[in-house]
Amino acid sequence: MKMRKILSIILSCAMLIGSLSVSSAVKVRAEGPEEISPEDISVTWDDSHVYKELSLGKYDTITTYGVKGYEDVPFVSVHEYLNILCEGKEDILIEDGVMKISMYGAEAVIDPEADTIRVDKPASFKSSGPIDGAIVEQDEFNVITWSSKNESVQTDPEGVEIHLEDYHMPVIAYEDTIIMPFLALQNTFGSMRMENTLAYNGKDYFNAFEAENFALQPQNKGAVDSPYLKAFYGGPFSELKETTQAYADYGYYSVCLLLDLTFGHKEEKNITTFDEYFTRINAKRSMCSTDPGAAMTSEFMLFTYLFDSGHDALFGLKNVFDAGGKADPLDASNLMNDMKESEEGREFFDDTQEYTPGSADPDASADAIVGALLEKGFKIPEIAPLLVWTYALAAAKPEDYGSRRLDYAGDTAVIYFDAFKDDTADRKPSYYLDPIREEDAESSTFAFFYLCFEDIRQHDEVKNVVINLADNGGGAAAALVCTLGFLSEDGEVLITDRDLMSGNYREEWYHVDTNLDGIADEEDGFGGEYNFYIMCSGSSYSCGNALPYFAQQDGLATIIGTHPGGGDCVVGSFVDAYGRCAAYSCMLKLGRETDEGFVSDEKATQPELNMMPSIWDIQYAPWFDAEGIADAVHQYENGATEIVYNDMSEGEKFSEFLMGMLERVEKNKQKQAEE
């Protein structure tokens, strides 16, 4: 799903602060001082810059406070932070020492005495409209609008109460505001708005998530040496090789806070709290280490192995304390000894050696690796099939095939594209003033489909249209809605999902103006004009998994190929206290309410024509062959439910598959050598 755009920064604190005063000391019930007095608080920086956008010329200024007992931990004013986050659209009132924040009909209450944040409708802090925090944002509305024909509905939110004492993060009434650790605010209010993208470098706050995401793109290799990233990694923390223990603990508990609130697969992974989870897998010791490299190694294992989906991945190894990045070597010969130091390992080997959580052992990160293996039972991770599929299809894809194309084979048109893209928020003017051109297909799936159907309508012989998602890894939710609009009979699209933080189920009805006449009517959509098919593989992921799911649920298309690869959660932004960034499966989960309860789209789609009866048939299925795809459609029309390619035995198919893979590996080596 789409990674969210960063909003413009607007600061208007004057109307919010007023003349109200509150108590200036609170009890801290967790680690740290028993009581924080005004004398324990000092201004670390009165001119910290907040760069919400990827520009050093556009920033806001915020005060960063220091608190005795929380060395190096940045504390900020709730007033100042929310005014930047919410662009001044929030209302703040302090009564009897309690802060009340209102926005879009939602209310949050911050209570310094209880160290709590209570929010009645978390999703409403993201956006207003027929649906709170809808999957398509208002700035993505252009050819998409809310449906006037079908009503969008949602169940009542449950609300959330966050006990910050559980995360050793004090809520401090100070002067005429409340101050809190920066990540206590970002991982609560920022995550509600899906704008938890900033990182602190010892003085200033940078949009680390968007910057690192930009630098990861192959075409942006030079970004690693950009002034923006140099400024980010060149802050005061860059002079330090180790953190204070207080800061290391802050880093650990901020991760627990974010994931407790927003990780979409807690239930599936039997997680109650992440503190319990990290302790169980023996990762807490390394994550609380004062060596940022040890903590990074644990995070790497968590995101790439334990979280175990195509949506979960650490971006890179850099951190603001040591921009070069380092990690303990993952030496397999040491795993056995390290296993004996883990809780599960000690029991397995009947070892009585004492284990002290939180000790700053330089080998602590190895515990996380061992704990990961134990948690998985040494099984192959679930993401492995997705990786195999991705490699196999990359090898099978013809050279110069491209990332999108339209092919014809008799009465069948095949639309192929490898990602869902949307440029609505950035495109000015819109397609209603600036007509679609051929080059727009590169950045907009809507434009691509519009041009495809303009062409298809010139071919009277076409009656079948196949959407080929063979290696489509997903992308923008707005592009998903647009694509479904072309498949529907009247441009109407239903997206259903559950917000795990708010606890409510939503039915979101949209209309897509597929003919660009500016009218949301039944002239939109091509359902009924053509027989639609969607071809999936195990590499059809995220939106590539959602498109066949919703199309099958609502009778828009016949599903052929094999089961899609999954990916039921929206991608969230993870930024830790060290400035490391990751993508992860967030709290918004796609699926539908049934008599048995909510069922996510992860594994719900069933192919109606199985084009891969055997795993080894991956080499015979016509993933990128329009003629072969058309033939499969014709076989389905004649009653087939399964494609048989030959009468070879499983062993013969396996042997041929291995030989083919080896030949492709050798071919790639030769090509790289020539280049």
77-116 pLDDT per residue, tens: 999 999 999 999 999 999 999 999 999 999 999 999 999 9
Query: Over 50: is that where the pLDDT of 362 sits?
Result: no
Residue that the structure tokens 């009218």 belong to: 519
- How does pLDDT run across 580-617, given as a tens digit for each residue? 999 999 999 999 999 989 999 999 999 999 999 887 88
Instruction: Over range 284-303, report the average pLDDT.
Output: 84
Say if residues 22 and 176 touch (Cβ distance below 8 Å): yes
Q: DSSP assignment of 514-580, as one string? A: TT-SS--STTS--BTTBEEEEEE-TT-BTHHHHHHHHHHHTTS-EEEES---B--EEEEEEE-TTS-
Spatial CA neighbour of 283 closest among 260, 306, 266, 261: 306
**3-state SS class at 492:** strand
Q: With bands split at pLDDT 50, 70 and 90, how would you rate the model's confidence at 348?
A: very low
C-alpha–C-alpha distance, residues 217 and 224, integer Å:
11
Q: State the Cα–Cα distance between residues 488 and 527, nearest whole angstrom.
A: 5
Contact 443, 423 (CB under 8 A): yes
Give me the pLDDT at residue 14, please.
26
| Alpha-carbon distances of 538 from 406, 547, 602, rounded to whole Å | 22, 14, 12
Residues 503 and 194 sit within 8 Å (Cβ to Cβ):
no
> What's the pLDDT score for residue 113?
95
Report pLDDT for 9: 20
* Range 285-295 average pLDDT: 86
Angle of helix 364-376 relative to helix 292-301, nearest 10 degrees, comes to 10
Looking at residue 283, its pLDDT comes to 81
Asked whether the beta carbons of 182 and 75 are under 8 A apart, the reply is yes
Structure tokens at 635: 């076989």
Q: What is the dihedral of CA 131, 266, 180, 251, to 10 degrees?
A: -140
Alpha-carbon gap, residue 209 to 573, rounded angstroms? 7
Residue 337 has pLDDT above 80, yes or no: no
Q: What pLDDT is recorded for position 421?
A: 97
Helix or strand run (H / E) with residue 484: helix 477-487
Q: What percent of the chain has pLDDT over 70?
A: 82
Spell out the residues 6+ positions from residue 26 whose beta carbon is closer than 8 angstroms to its own.
35, 36, 112, 113, 115, 170, 171, 172, 173
Strand partners, 405: 416
Tokens of 435: 């007509």
SS3 at position 86: coil
Residue with tokens 């020539």: 674
Q: Quote the pLDDT of residue 651.
A: 63
Q: Return the structure tokens found at 377.
A: 């039972």
pTM for this model (two decimals): 0.86
Rounded CA-CA distance 486/420 in Å is: 14
Determine phi and psi for 307, rounding to 5 degrees: -70, -35
Is 72 strand, coil or helix? coil
Residues forming beta bridges with residue 179, ordered by sequence position: 77, 172
User: How confident is the model over 172-182, as pLDDT tens digits?
Assistant: 999 999 999 99
Max mean pLDDT among 91-95, 368-372, 649-653 falls in: 91-95
Q: Is 341 exposed, middle or buried (0-12, 13-18, 19+ CB in 10 A)?
A: buried
Q: How far apart are CA 231 and CA 244, in angstroms?
A: 22
Instruction: Please list, in sequence order, all residues whose beta carbon lies within 8 angstroms of the beta carbon of residue 478, skipping any fewer than 6 positions away.
Output: 2, 136, 137, 140, 144, 422, 424
Lowest average pLDDT, out of 61-70, 288-297, 411-420, 599-608, goes to: 288-297
pLDDT higher than threshold 60 for residue 311? yes
Which pLDDT band holds residue 332 (cuts at 50, 70, 90)?
Answer: very low
Number of H helices, E strands in the chain: 19, 28
